[in-house]
A and B are shown apart, each in its own frame.
Chain A
Amino acid sequence: MDKDPNKGYIAMLGWSLNAIEALERFDRRYVIVAPDWAQEYCEQHNIPYIPWNFERLNDRSMEIAETLKDMQVDVAIPLFEETVEWAGAINSVLMDNPRLYGQSILFRDKALMKRRAQLGGIRVGIFEEAHDREDVVRFLKRVNQTLLKLDGDPNDPIHLKAFDKAGCLGHRVIRTPDEIDMIPEEEFPVLMESHLDGWEFAVEAWIHDGKIRFLNISEYVTLGYSVFVPATPELEKYRPQITAQIEKLIKTFDIQFGFIHPEYFVTSDGEMYFGEVAYRPPGFKVFELLERAYGFNAYQAMVLMFDPKTTEEEITAFFPREVVDAKGYAGCFGVYPRRRVVSRLEIPEETEQHEYFESHELTTPLEETVTKRTAFGTHWGLIYFFGDEPHKMRDLLKRQEELDFYV
């Protein structure tokens, strides 16, 4: 698509073919900042590109910011958890606003993030940092004492998460002290949280000029397995409360522009608990689901939010109305092999023949033995569905958990 030189020039931090594909058909000038293995591909396909290895911030970090500034890039957009603080550092140079870097650190450290949220008056569960296994034992005990459990009663679980990893990576659920011994030394320090019984969901919010421009609620059928958009009316009825929560979050974290992806629990009495927030696109291909459901491209929406030259008219024209403008419900299911030994991929007839079934990206297994899942692990591929009835979608996604895709 022809680029409009009067609009912003953006840098994408990280490699995502889906994002590049979206940028190609959008009017903003762009450049991809990615590790040097991407070079050949970019040259071959005429993709604007700057090589950069995002290992950790160091003395040379200014270099990439200066390069982008010389190119008159207006803003950098992070695609992955690991590039969030890079975007903060770069944008603080590009926009001459050092606070942006500090803000990005809040998004990168889950313990800092929770404390900040707490200070802003947002409800969070009980949490603490752990530096070794003893900390975990103490926390597990204390949480369960608080819940007035007696010795011998089954414990309420606690959750352990790495400070700076995305989504389910490194996420463990601990119920008994024996399980604590299984945690490898190198995973510490970690963040510990009490378990919140409730309905977990995620929100995607596009923010420009400190205001929410589009708010999506993603409904998890089972965490780590499946998600669909828009949510069922049962969850959507909380939209006013959820919007209020997001506005609090924007104020607390002083977010002027960009995109956030927070997770919440809503308990049976309607109380919202904040889980965590990320300043980058969600996993599980939620962006793709949104495009399927609403027709707008979520990466382009992100660019619109980050670009300081975006106009109000553009924003109004770009976004559809939430929920009512959705053409249907789009969901996806992450497949984990259920057997210890598998030899081939076999999509169940009932899945492939379902009227909601769209496509899958599963591939034939390369190894026959399935690695035992530690923590939450990674799925082997996604299956996509689309249909017009949210409850049918929810039940369909739930049903997939009982099926074998690898036999």
Chain B
Amino acid sequence: MTTEDRTDSGGELPPLLAKLDDAAQALAQTSSFAKSLKSGRVLHAARRVVMVEGGCEALESRMPSLESAGIFEGSDWSQPQILLPALAKYSLTAPATETVMLEALSELRMLAVARGNYIHPSISQQQAHHHLTQVLALNLDLLFMPPSEAERTRQGSLALLTRRLFQYLADGIGYEHIVDKLIDEIWRILEQRPIQVDAVKQMILQIAACQANPAIELGSSGQGADRLISSLFGTTNGCREDPGLDTYQQRLESMDNAALQYEATGFARAMHDTGLVSPYHSQLMRFLLERGDHLLSEAMGLSSTGRDCLLCYRELVHAMIDLAVHPQSPQAIYGLALLLERGILYQPPVAPALWRQVALPLSPYSQQRLHIAFGDTLSPAARLMEGVLCMLGQPLGVGQGNNPTCQSARALSMWAYNDPDYLLQMVAWAARDDEIIMHFEGQPVSSRENPDGVAKQLPIDLDPVSLLVVPHLDRIYAEMGRRCIGRDEDPHRWINPEFHGWWAGRGFRIAVDIATGQLHGLDDFLRYFYASYHPFYNGNQPLIHPQPAGIAITDSAARFIGWHAITLLRVSLDPQQVMRMYFFNPNNDSGQDWGDGVVVSTSGNGERFGEASLPFEDFASRLYIFHYDPLEPGTPTNIDPQSIETVIGKIQRSWGADRQPPGGLQASTGET
């Protein structure tokens, strides 16, 4: 080994492999508690192996021995069956070599298992294959895009390493699997109709780029992408070949009514199919403002309800389109269409409140926040109007972004769903006055006087309404919490009704003891829940108002992760005659595996757009807080003990596993 033959990639393979094998041997000899002392050398050696021709292959073939040497010991990677594909992105883009390399080795292990070269005790060949395709699909940028400047600064040459790795993984698994998987993933997300679709659009762009690249062999895959791509770029006859906005404008000007009608229905169908709106659609809408409301209604794909609404509030709708619908904000059309379909304009305060919104002067601070988050392609007022339309049209499309503000996101969604004019009032206060005042037990709580919220930083990855309102709500929520300090019960008991609205039940049940965190009075808790919410026990009373509830989130191995705020929306039989709870989860993607067979469904079981659902028992097994009307408690004694027992079993196997009270559950619940 001499200096002269050293390459940029850090050397030749055999000596690097010798280093790796030496380090792996030292690791293998070490007792399990001290693995961390010896794993660094292995990971650093592996890092350099990846960068050399043939390195990934050499690592893949070594994965059985590396894993048995204990490279994953003491980390989540030691249980490949619980690894979530969505999390791979974070470790692969981390700045520390150790984190990136553990993830990289884990993926190489998956590849070895998927190819049948490594028989793994805890994952099957199919599972490994499935995992890999998901990881690849969720990180197509690592496959097709060179590192951005930010990545380079953060990761240095590690950014190149992940690309090399992905190339190797994709070659091993086949591009066709990845693209199909990605398409499924996009449809799964779109079925939840999120307000924020930028990430989805980004993924569709990647597929389009992939299809257009002759160097990538897609085979028969990628067929399902056409609808997605066309909904954005070539929706109708008039823009089939993605001609550019100027050309399309010229074409519109020369179209007769029949052609325009054809364009309008084409766009409307694509929009309602996917929830995605093409920039050309905006152009058509603006053009149609001059051409009569019939075509406008067609272009939004309105039913008779929506059309009536449009005709009753014609000027308002025109004003809102004029302000908010632009090629830079096409999603406003979808929001507006759904808003009209909901018929909420017939509630007396809503239309005047929207007029106020159209003319609302934004504070310099609000303008600046919108500007930072969305750029300056559109005026801040237009951006906010788009956000308002989308939130009122898609109340269940609200997401909390990557922020610990599930409470605030839930409140916004609940108001948009149940009390739209109150939401508009909040938006006006926040955007114009930079202050929201709520009342807690008769005392005013100002968002301006209480600067500390739950979130440590101002969120930026949100829709326009959340962007402005959430920071205020978050501070108010945190202050309400502070005012409850010293009370010996869970503060949500008092905060939830005051924070969300009068309709949140004043009856309150919690499944854990505040002081000890142990399970407490489970039997009673579940009986009340069944009696209040389950139609078989509450006199077949459908849920009237959306109710705040708290759940214990668990991971795919059913381990407790944290407490989370959701909204109970309705309870009914699904198409298979199973009683289900339909609920709203402010988390950005509701389709989650909570372990022990509890998998949250977002479509195919009678869900409306944006709803998540679980069979009633499964849901009850993750619930820890709920509200109810004490005057309508049902008959808690009537509940089938078998159901209660099943649910308690599920709790004990998941988040309740290490929360068993010392005397066991029976001791405290036997009396009821």
Contacts and interface: CB of A to CB of B under 8 A. Distances in A.
A402 to B, nearest CB: 18
Contacts of A18: 34, 37
A357 interface: yes
A21 interface: yes
Contacts, number: 68
Interface string A268-281: 00000000000000
Contacts of B37: 17-18, 21
A346 interface: yes
A364 B31 contact: no
Most chain A C-beta atoms within 10 Å of own C-beta, residue among B15, B29, B45: B29
B30 interface: yes
A388 B1 contact: yes
A358 B45 contact: yes
A17 B34 contact: yes
B41 A24 contact: no
Contact of B11 (A355, A364, A386, A388): A355
Given A24-B34, A346-B156, A388-B1, A359 B44 contact: yes
B305 interface: no
A355 B6 contact: yes
A384 B156 contact: no
A353 B8 contact: yes
A47 B156 contact: no
Nearest to A383: B44
A291 B26 CA distance: 10
Interface string B19-59: 10001001001111110010011011100100000000000
Contacts of A353: 8-10, 48, 157
Nearest to B39: A359
Given A17-B34, A25-B29, A355 B95 contact: no
A361 B3 CA distance: 25
Interface string A328-371: 00000000000000001111010011010111110010000000
Q: What interface size band does chain B fall in?
A: 20 to 34
A379 to B, nearest CB: 16
A237 interface: no
Contacts of A347: 156
Q: What interface size band does chain A fall in?
A: 20 to 34
A230 B277 CA distance: 70
Most chain B C-beta atoms within 10 Å of own C-beta, residue among A45, A353, A361, A386: A353
A384 B41 contact: yes
Given A353-B10, A388-B1, A358 B34 contact: no
A349 B1 contact: no
Interface string A185-225: 00000000000000000000000000000000000000000
Nearest to A23: B31
Contacts of A344: 95
A358 B33 contact: no
Contacts of B10: 352-353, 355
Given A24-B31, A25-B31, A364 B96 contact: yes
A44 B26 CA distance: 23
A18 B48 CA distance: 26
A20 interface: yes
23 contacts: A18-B34, A18-B37, A20-B34, A21-B33, A25-B30, A25-B31, A41-B33, A45-B32, A45-B33, A344-B95, A345-B95, A346-B156, A352-B44, A353-B9, A353-B10, A355-B1, A355-B10, A358-B41, A359-B41, A359-B43, A359-B45, A360-B40, A364-B95
Given A357-B44, A358-B45, 17 more contacts: A17-B33, A17-B34, A17-B37, A20-B34, A21-B31, A21-B37, A25-B29, A347-B156, A352-B157, A355-B3, A355-B11, A358-B23, A358-B41, A359-B40, A359-B45, A360-B40, A364-B95
Nearest 4 A/B pairs, CB to CB = A21-B34, A45-B33, A359-B44, A24-B31
